[in-house]
Each structure stands twice: as C-alpha cells, then as structure tokens.
Structure 1
C-alpha cells in the first residue's frame, strides 16, 4: 500500500512539472505551479500589510522623484503598460533596499536614497526589483518550496518503507543539503537574472546603465564588508554581480543611446 502511495505521489509531481514548465525572459527553464491571480492577490495583501506596519514618507519631493523613475521603468514593460496601474510607495526606513510585488506594487525605502547617488542608480534598483516580478520569481520560489516539501515527504515514506530510522540528525542533514545545494543557489540565479532584466529596463527607459556598476560599488561600501560567503548567501557577491553586469553592458548601452529623450527626475 505504501509503495502505491509513493508511486501515486511521484506521478502527481511529474504531471505537475510537465504542465507547469515555462521559460523566463532570459530563456531559463522554470516550473510555475501558481496562477497569476494567486500571486497578484498575495502581493496585494503583503503590500497592504507593509503600509500598515511601516511609516510612509510624506516628503512630496522624494515621492515625486521615485514615482518619476518608476513610471519610466513601468512604461518599458509593455506597449500598453500604464504607470497608473502600479502603486509606488516610499517607506520611511533606514533599509538600503526596494522591492516589487506581483499585483503591480513597488516599495522603496528612504535608506536606499541615501546610498543611490542619482536617478540612474535608483532606476537600477527599481528595474532589478521589477525584473523579479516580470520573471515570476515569486511564483517560482513558491513552486520550488512546494516541490521540495513533496520531495521530502517522498523521502520520508521511502525511509519508513525500507525500515531506516529517521533520526533528527538525518533529517537535519537533508534539510541543510536542500538549502545549500538547491534553495540558496536558486535564489542567486534569480538575483543575477533580475540584474540583467533590470539593466535592460533602465537602459530602454533612458537611464544610464553604467550607473548600475557605481550603485553596487556604493552598496558594497555601505555594507562595510559585512556579508556572508557567497555560497551561503541568497545574493551574488558584489564582485560577481558587477562582473555579470559588465558582461551585459554593451547591448544595454546600445539601447540607452537609442533613447532620444532621457528622463529628468528630480
């Protein structure tokens, strides 16, 4: 009976994988198990929670500056894309970060504006975060977590059927193996992909892609060198990130030079 349950579970997983396979904007294979509607609803709910928990900036100049940059990035997503469909909020926080969520939500922390020196560098971050959304990285991460959970259940059943004692040490080792071997490197893949998509978006919008390199140098300085080893981090090391951005700079500059009217966000 247990073997039949295992087989049924594995068959269900295989069927889900076959029906959910797609490709990212850069051509990378993905497995997406959730609908756009499900992800959008989750993003909208998460953003509403953020607005309740984190103070929102009332500085008109700051809000106009960020909104202007975001609008120019959003307009590159689709010919019919309207910035009015997106909600952009500046949060009062020392975090040097920004984020974008399914459901057309963008959040920028004021801490980022202290590290990013100009509109181009802010555009690099917003482009990167929007890149996560259009590449459906949230869906992919949720799908991955679901499949890892199913896979661990299959392992649990197999150990039980074969009479192997499931000690905490064995399961802890399995969890660590999953984290370092799969989950974290996968997140670094997302970050690198979002960098490339963001570089393309900012260049198409008329923001200087070369400023992305300066931005990540500023980020590295702001961290004071306090970052974990790359193999145990969800983000690429700054040196890795800069190297990949430089490798994609030539086509980005070509796009940037084609924009006749450049943004002037102040």
Structure 2
C-alpha cells in the first residue's frame, strides 16, 4: 500500500449506520478490485503454509511409480527453471498418482502434476506449457496475492456484519449472504482469473527462453477443452474457460 493509502486509512469521521452500510461494502470492493498487488500476508507465512500443504499432499497422495514420467517432468522443469533464472536444486517437482487432469504450484517452490495430465499432453512442449504456467504463478507471488485478497474480503464481511447487527436492518442475514457471494464471484474469482492469464504470459516467455515452442500452449488448451467438456459457466469458474484462454494465448504469442 502506498503512503497516501496508509494516511487515508488513519482519518476519522462520524458516519451513520446507513452510510456505514454502504461504505463497508464499497470499501471492501474497492480494496479488492482496485489493487493489483494486495499484500497483507508475509512471504514467510505464505511459504510456511505452502510447505505444510505440500507435506500433507505427499502424505495423502503417493507419488507416481512411473520413473519415465518423473524423469520427463524433471527434465522439462529443469530447462524452464534455468530459463527463469531459478536454481533448479531449490525446487521440487513431482508427478502424483491419480487420474486428475490437474497441476498445481505451492509457495516454497513446489510443483505437482497428476498422472492424468500425461493423458492430455502430446509432447514435452505442451508439458512445458503447464510447468511454465505453474512457475509463473510462484514467481509472480500469486499465492500471496490470493491469500491477501481473502483477508481483505473477510475484513469487509466482518465490517458489514457489525453494521447489520448494530441496526434494525430488514433482511440482514440475506444482505450479508448476498454480499459474500458478490465478493466471491464478482471480485475474488476474477482476480484469480487475471492471475491465471498472467501466469500463462510468464510461462510462454519462460518456454521460449528454454527453447520450447510457445505455440504448443494453444494445442494444449485445445486438448484440455476436449478433455474437460461439460465444465460450469465461465463466470462462476476460477480459471478462464479454455476458449477464452486460447484466444488470450494467441494474442500473446506475437509478443513473446
């Protein structure tokens, strides 16, 4: 937050309950929608939580016993990490057993991918699109932004809850519930969708630097679209719909 933002947060004035009701919602909307880099959670906290989550996943989900898959992932990840200016020895990448078509990144330099993803990718370039995307999430500190946005959302809901309890507001419970849904679907999830596209862009840059073919990301998402047919409406989805993502990646490619 800039100094002006900090100063404005210190001002005091009297606001009646009706105005407070309006401002409590507006301030939380402004905080979440108006800031591209919300930083309310420390790096150390985020990393500690990421490492704990990784340990829990490792305990609950076995690693793939297929040495070929582990080797391919390790080789692709090493090339990408070098291109991204990272020391590959500080990172852990692992193929997990499971048919899920999914991959994830956790603070603490951890990347996981499920066996099911290898049923979608056709070559190392497409695998690089996935891993490069996950590296992009971590380099851009998207986990910290996401957690900070959640903290800000919770603050907004607590403020509104206090206002609703303090006054005789008709349908108070319904109003609070509606604001919660609006914050989640109208602000928090689109913020995550923006992160997804930023991670795509960073991943394409890293792919190119590592000698992979960034255009293969388009083919990957075309195959992902076919493999995940029947998903929910884009508006209520955390990730961009495949068609939207494909169009965005195509627009990015000439600039890579």
TM-score (normalizing by structure 1): 0.81
Paired with 2:224 and 2:97, the residues of 1 have a C-alpha distance of 19
Q: Which runs of 5+ in 1 are unaligned?
A: 19-27, 253-266
Please provide the CA RMSD for this pair.
Answer: 2.3
TM-score (normalizing by structure 2): 0.84
Corresponding residue to 2:73 among 66, 69, 78: 66
Corresponding residue to 1:201 among 185, 197, 206: 206
Query: Is the CA contact (8 Å cut-off) linking 1:196 and 1:248 kept in structure 2?
Result: yes
Aligned pairs, how many?
A: 231
* Correspondences of 1:1-266 after superposition (within 5 Å): 29-78=36-85, 81-165=86-170, 167-223=172-228, 225-252=229-256
Query: Is the CA contact (8 Å cut-off) linking 1:97 and 1:111 kept in structure 2?
Result: yes
Other structure's SS at 2:93 match: strand
Query: Is the CA contact (8 Å cut-off) linking 1:159 and 1:166 kept in structure 2?
Result: no
- Residue by residue over 1:87-137, the C-alpha shift from the partner in whole angstroms, topping out at 9 and shown as x without a partner, is 111101101111111101111111111100000000000111111111111
Paired with 2:241 and 2:134, the residues of 1 have a C-alpha distance of 17
Paired with 2:122 and 2:216, the residues of 1 have a C-alpha distance of 9
Deviates more, 1:138-147 or 1:157-166: 157-166
Paired with 2:75 and 2:84, the residues of 1 have a C-alpha distance of 15
Paired with 2:128 and 2:177, the residues of 1 have a C-alpha distance of 41
Other structure's SS at 1:29 match: coil
Other structure's SS at 2:40 match: coil
Paired with 1:83 and 1:170, the residues of 2 have a C-alpha distance of 49
- Residue by residue over 1:52-103, the C-alpha shift from the partner in whole angstroms, topping out at 9 and shown as x without a partner, is 111111222211110000111111222xx21111111110110111111110
- Residue by residue over 1:153-196, the C-alpha shift from the partner in whole angstroms, topping out at 9 and shown as x without a partner, is 11122233443246332222111111221112112111111111
Other structure's SS at 2:94 match: strand
Paired with 1:159 and 1:171, the residues of 2 have a C-alpha distance of 8
Q: CA deviation at 1:29?
A: 2.5
Paired with 1:236 and 1:247, the residues of 2 have a C-alpha distance of 15
